[in-house]
C-alpha cells in the first residue's frame, strides 16, 4: 500500500484539499494526510483525508521552536518533510510527499512502486538538455535550484537512513540562500545519487510544471466524453502549478518571467490550469489565504522579519560551531517557554564599536535597508559612529524602532537646530519608516479588504510619457467612488534634486511621505513602486509601459517644449529642463546630470533602492544583470501591466481586470511648441545609437517581457517598428 500527504499552513488548507480530492479520485481506497503546521482551524469534510499537526511528528520541542523562529513558512514547510515522511512510513510501506499546488490526473502507484526495493524515487526538473536561448527555465536557474524537484518524493522503509540524514541538515540549513548553495530542501537531495539507493523517474507525465513545459507535449484526449490529459501516448499523472495565479491566467507561473512554452488560450496545459484555478476559487482558497501565518509573529508580539530571522539563525549557528548542542544553545527562540527572553536578546549588542555599539533590533534595520548599507557600509568600524548618530537623531529611526533604546546605551546629545538632516544627506526621502512591519501589515489589510472590484484599492504607477495621463483620467472616471490621493509626484523621482525646496504649487502635488497614502484607497502619479507598496498590495498596482526608445524621445521633446508657466511649475527639475533645452537628443542621453530621467527609468521606478542604481550617475554595465533581474521579478508581482503598443486592447483588458468599463480618454501633454528638429546625427549617429542602447537596455527587457505576456507577436520586431515610426516623425518635424 501507499500513503501520500502534503504540508501547509492553515491558510492554504483549501488548496491542500483540492490536491487531496484529485489524488483520491485517482487512488480509490487510499487515504491522504494533510500536515497543518500551525494552530489555525483545519476541519475537512472528507473522512478519507486526515489532518495532522506538528505534535504528530517526532521533533523535539526545542528543535521545533528553533526551526519556527529561523524559517519563514516556505522554508519551514520543507524542513519538516523528512519527519513527516518517516511518520507516513509508520503507517504504510511506501510514502509520498506531494506539494499542495499539484493536481493529480492519473494513478502514480506504478511509478512509485520501485521505492519498495530502491528506497527513494525522485523526479528531475527536466528530462532533456535545456536550450541555451536566454529563456526560462535556464541551466543556471536549475543549478541554483537543484537537479530534482522536491514537490514530489516517494520513499520506502529502506529510506529511513536517508530521511534522518536529510532531517539533520534541514534542521538549520533549509534556507533560501543561493550564494551559499542552499535552496530550502532541494539542493541537499543532489547528494542522493552518491550516498543512497534510489530511482530517477523519467515518466514524462510526472511533475509537469513551468520548468519543463517546453519539453512536455500535453494533449487532451476524449475518453468516454471526458477530456483526459495525455503525454507521449501515456497518462499525465500530475501537473505542478507552481506560481500559477487564477487571477492572471495569461501567465503560467510568476516564477517564469521569460517563458519558452506557448501559452495560448487553446493550449491543453492552459486549459488544465484554468480548470484548476476554477476549482481553487470554488474551494474558497483565496478568501482563506488572506489570514496571517501564525509564526510570523513571536510569542511576545515581535514581528519576525526576514532580517531578524537571519540574525537569529546566525547566532544559533555560531553557538553550534562553538561546540554547543541545539539543546544547550542560549539564543532564545521566539516560541515556547524560552520566548520571554527574546526581547532581552534583541536588546543585546550586535555590532558597532566599543564607543558606538548597536543592538540586535537596530542591526535588523540596517540589514534590511539598502539605503543604510550604502550610507554606512563599514557599520562595525569606520561608520559605526555615523550609524549610531542616525539611530539617535533621525525621525526615520524612531518610526522604525519606536521608543526602543538599548538599556545599556546613553544617547548622544541632541543636534542643534542648524544640523542638516542625515536622512536628506543620504537621500532617504522618508519612505523606509513604514517597512518594519510591512509584511504583517499587508496581510492584515488583505484580511479586511472587500472583494467588490468597485471598492478594491488601486494604485497606478505612472511612467512618464507612457500615455499615463490618458489612462489616469479614464481610470478616475471609471472608479468615482474611490478616495483618490491628491498627489502626483514622488520625491523619489526628483533624483539628485530631491533636497531642493519645492515651489508652493509643486509641494501641494508632491507626496510628503508614503504614510500619507493610509487615508486613501487609490493613487495615480509618478510614484516609485516601493512608495506605493507602503500602502498598496502588489496585486493592487497597475501600470502601462511604452517602447522605451520612443518614450525617451518623447520625454526629451516634452522637456524642451515646456512653456513659461509649465517651466515655473516644474522648477524643481529646472536643471533637467535646461539640459533638455540646451542639448540635442543624443547629447542629452550622454549627460549624467539627467541620468535619473534618461537611464532605464522603468527600472529606476520599480527598484529605486537597488544597490546598482544611483540618482546622479548611470547604471554601470556590471550592475545591469542584477538590476534587470530585480526589476523583472518586481514587475511580475504587479496586478496588471500592459504596453500601449497593443492599442485599444489596453483599455478593454484593463476594464476587465478592474471589473468596470474603462472609456478611452486621449490626452497628449507633449506639444511641439518650438518646432526644433533634432539633427540627424543626434538620432542616427553611432554615438547616439550607443547611448540610446545603454539608456534602455534594462527597460527594453522589461517591455519585452510584458509585451510577450500580453500576447504581442514578435515583441522585438514590434518594438523596432514603432521606434522606426517615431524616429521618422522626429526627422520630418
Most confident of 272-276, 347-351, 607-611, 690-694: 272-276
CB 543 within 8 A of CB 641: yes
CB 233 within 8 A of CB 216: no
Is the confidence at residue 181, as pLDDT, over 70? yes
For helices 624-635 and 686-709, what crossing angle results, to 10°? Answer: 30
Q: Which residues of 84-119 are buried (b: 16+ CB within 10 A; e: fewer)?
A: bbbbbbeebebbbbbbbbbbbbbbbbebbbbbbebb
User: If you average pLDDT over residues 157-180, what whole number do you get?
Assistant: 96
3-state secondary structure 377-428: CCCCCCCHHHHHHHHHHCHHHHHHHCCCCCCCCCCCCCCCCCCCCHHHHHCC
Nearest to 517 by CA among 597, 441, 406: 441
Neighbouring residues of 523: CB distance < 8 A, sequence distance ≥ 6: 458, 459, 460, 484, 485, 487, 517, 532, 535, 536
Q: What is the pLDDT of residue 733?
A: 60
State the pTM of this model.
0.59
Alpha-carbon Rg for the chain, nearest whole angstrom, is 28
* Tally of CB atoms within 10 A around 450: 9
Is the confidence at residue 321, as pLDDT, over 60? yes
User: If you average pLDDT over residues 179-206, what whole number do you get?
Assistant: 96
**DSSP string over 71-114:** --HHHHHHHTHHHHHHHHHTTSSEEEEE-TTEEE-S--HHHHTT
- Give pLDDT tens digits for 561-595: 765 555 555 554 545 455 666 788 888 889 888 89
User: If you average pLDDT over residues 535-545, what whole number do you get?
Assistant: 90
Q: Whole-angstrom Cα distance, residue 103 to residue 548?
A: 40
User: If you average pLDDT over residues 89-104, what whole number do you get?
Assistant: 97
Is the confidence at residue 410, as pLDDT, over 80? no
Query: pLDDT band at 642, cuts 50/70/90?
Result: very high
- Give pLDDT tens digits for 220-233: 999 888 899 999 99
Query: pLDDT band at 488, cuts 50/70/90?
Result: confident
Query: Where is average pLDDT lowest: 264-273, 657-666, 690-699?
Result: 657-666
Report the relative pairing of strands 32-36 and 102-104 from DSSP bridges.
unpaired
Higher-confidence position of 563 and 84 = 84
- Give pLDDT tens digits for 364-400: 999 888 888 888 888 888 888 889 888 988 888 888 8
Amino acid at each position: 500500500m501507499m500513503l501520500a500527504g502534503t504540508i501547509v499552513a492553515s491558510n492554504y488548507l483549501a488548496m491542500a484539499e483540492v490536491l487531496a480530492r484529485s489524488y483520491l479520485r485517482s487512488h480509490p481506497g487510499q487515504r491522504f494526510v494533510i500536515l497543518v503546521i500551525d494552530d489555525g482551524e483545519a476541519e475537512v469534510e472528507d473522512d478519507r483525508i486526515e489532518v495532522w499537526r506538528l505534535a504528530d511528528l517526532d521533533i523535539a520541542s526545542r528543535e521545533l521552536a528553533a526551526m519556527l523562529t529561523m524559517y519563514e513558512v516556505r522554508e519551514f514547510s520543507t524542513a519538516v518533510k523528512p519527519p513527516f515522511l518517516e511518520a507516513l512510513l509508520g503507517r504504510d510501506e511506501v510514502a509520498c510527499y506531494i506539494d499542495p499546488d499539484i493536481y493529480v490526473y492519473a494513478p502514480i502507484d506504478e511509478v512509485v512502486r520501485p521505492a519498495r526495493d530502491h528506497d527513494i524515487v525522485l523526479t528531475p526538473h527536466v528530462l532533456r538538455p535545456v536550450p541555451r536561448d536566454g529563456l526560462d527555465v535556464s541551466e543556471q536557474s536549475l543549478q541554483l535550484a537543484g537537479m530534482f524537484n522536491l514537490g514530489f518524493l516517494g520513499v520506502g522503509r529502506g529510506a529511513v537512513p536517508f530521511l534522518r540524514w536529510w532531517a539533520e541538515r534541514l534542521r538549520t540549513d533549509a534556507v533560501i540562500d543561493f550564494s551559499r548553495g542552499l535552496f530550502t530542501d532541494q539542493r541537499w537531495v543532489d547528494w542522493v545519487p552518491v550516498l543512497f539507493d534510489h530511482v530517477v523517474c523519467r515518466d514524462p507525465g510526472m511533475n509537469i510544471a513551468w520548468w519543463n513545459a517546453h519539453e512536455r507535449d500535453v494533449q487532451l484526449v476524449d475518453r468516454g466524453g471526458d477530456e483526459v490529459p495525455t503525454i507521449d501516448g501515456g497518462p499525465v499523472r500530475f501537473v505542478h502549478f507552481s506560481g500559477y495565479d487564477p487571477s492572471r491566467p495569461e501567465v503560467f507561473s510568476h516564477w517564469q518571467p521569460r517563458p519558452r512554452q506557448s501559452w495560448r488560450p487553446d493550449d491543453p496545459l492552459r486549459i488544465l490550469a484554468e480548470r484548476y484555478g476554477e476549482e481553487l476559487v470554488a474551494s474558497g482558497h483565496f478568501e482563506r489565504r488572506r489570514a496571517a501565518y501564525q509564526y510570523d509573529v513571536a510569542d511576545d508580539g515581535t514581528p519576525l522579519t526576514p532580517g531578524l530571522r537571519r540574525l537569529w539563525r546566525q547566532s544559533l549557528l555560531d553557538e553550534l560551531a562553538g561546540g554547543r548542542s541545539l539543546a544547550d544553545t542560549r539564543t532564545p527562540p521566539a516560541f515556547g517557554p524560552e520566548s520571554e527572553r527574546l526581547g532581552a536578546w534583541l536588546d543585546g549588542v550586535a555590532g558597532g564599536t566599543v564607543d558606538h555599539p548597536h543592538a540586535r533590533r537596530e542591526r535588523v534595520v540596517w540589514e534590511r535597508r539598502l539605503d543604510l548599507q550604502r550610507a554606512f557600509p563599514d557599520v562595525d568600524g569606520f561608520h559605526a559612529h555615523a550609524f549610531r548618530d542616525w539611530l539617535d537623531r533621525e525621525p526615520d529611526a524612531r518610526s522604525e524602532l519606536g521608543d526602543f533604546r538599548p538599556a545599556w546605551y546613553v544617547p548622544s546629545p541632541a543636534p542643534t537646530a542648524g544640523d542638516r538632516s542625515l536622512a536628506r544627506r543620504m537621500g532617504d526621502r522618508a519612505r523606509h519608516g513604514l517597512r518594519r512591519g510591512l509584511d504583517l501589515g499587508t496581510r492584515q489589510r488583505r484580511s479586511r479588504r472587500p472583494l467588490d472590484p468597485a471598492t478594491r484599492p488601486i494604485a497606478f504607477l505612472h511612467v512618464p510619457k507612457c500615455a499615463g495621463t490618458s489612462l489616469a483620467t479614464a481610470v478616475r472616471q471609471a472608479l468615482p467612488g474611490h478616495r483618490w490621493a491628491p498627489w502626483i509626484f514622488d520625491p523619489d523621482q526628483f533624483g539628485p534634486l530631491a533636497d531642493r525646496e519645492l515651489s508652493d504649487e509643486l509641494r501641494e502635488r508632491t507626496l510628503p511621505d508614503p504614510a500619507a497614502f493610509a487615508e486613501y484607497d487609490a493613487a495615480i502619479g509618478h510614484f516609485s513602486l516601493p512608495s506605493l507598496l507602503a500602502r498598496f498590495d502588489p496585486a493592487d498596482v497597475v501600470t502601462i509601459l511604452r517602447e522605451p526608445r520612443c518614450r525617451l524621445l518623447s520625454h526629451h521633446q516634452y522637456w524642451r517644449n515646456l512653456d513659461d508657466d509649465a517651466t515655473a511649475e516644474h522648477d524643481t527639475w529646472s536643471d533637467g529642463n535646461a539640459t533638455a533645452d540646451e542639448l540635442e537628443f543624443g547629447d542629452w542621453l550622454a549627460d549624467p546630470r539627467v541620468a535619473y530621467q534618461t537611464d532605464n527609468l522603468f527600472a529606476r521606478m520599480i527598484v529605486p533602492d537597488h544597490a546598482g542604481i544611483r540618482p546622479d550617475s548611470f547604471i554601470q554595465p556590471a550592475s545591469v544583470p542584477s538590476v534587470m533581474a530585480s526589476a523583472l521579478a518586481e514587475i511580475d508581482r504587479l496586478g496588471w501591466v500592459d504596453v500601449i503598443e497593443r492599442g485599444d486592447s489596453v483599455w478593454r483588458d484593463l476594464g476587465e481586470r478592474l471589473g468596470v468599463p474603462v472609456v478611452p480618454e486621449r490626452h497628449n501633454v507633449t506639444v511641439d511648441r518650438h518646432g526644433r528638429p533634432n539633427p540627424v546625427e543626434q538620432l542616427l549617429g553611432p554615438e547616439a545609437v550607443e547611448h540610446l542602447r545603454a539608456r534602455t537596455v534594462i527597460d527594453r527587457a522589461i517591455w519585452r517581457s510584458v509585451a510577450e505576456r500580453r500576447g504581442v507577436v514578435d515583441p522585438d520586431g514590434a518594438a523596432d517598428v514603432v521606434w522606426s515610426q517615431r524616429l521618422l516623425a522626429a526627422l520630418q518635424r
